[in-house]
Amino acid sequence: MVCLFIEPLGMDYWMLPGDEFVVMGDPEAPDSGLSIDTMPDHVIILVNEGDCYNVTVHDRRTGAELECGHQRPAAG
């Protein structure tokens, strides 16, 4: 699994093999207002401009907006 983090809010979305997510920045922000960093098993999106509460994550295949914690593994 790969964890997609949206910072500075710490929202997490978990991607299974074959999953594709689309991150939409605040529509009021210039450009996208986002920067991307990666590390093994993690993709970090930092909201640099705009309202971080207006950033959304969508399933690319269905277009559905995803909730924070999407497919989060059970603690254990």
- Per-residue CA distances from 66 to 1, 21, 39, 50 (Å): 16, 9, 22, 20
Domain presence at residue 65: no
Inside any domain, residue 75: no
pTM: 0.87
Boundaries of domain holding 34: 2-59
**Inside any domain, residue 22:** yes
Q: Which pLDDT belongs to residue 60?
A: 95
The reply to whether 33 falls in a domain is yes
- Please tell me the distance from the alpha carbon of residue 4 to that of residue 50, in angstroms, as a whole number: 19
Q: What is the structure's pLDDT at 52?
A: 85
Tell me if 67 is assigned to some domain: no
Q: Is 25 part of a structural domain of the chain? A: yes
Run means of pLDDT, 10 residues per run, the chain, 76 residues = 94 95 85 87 92 92 96 87
The number of domains in the chain is 1
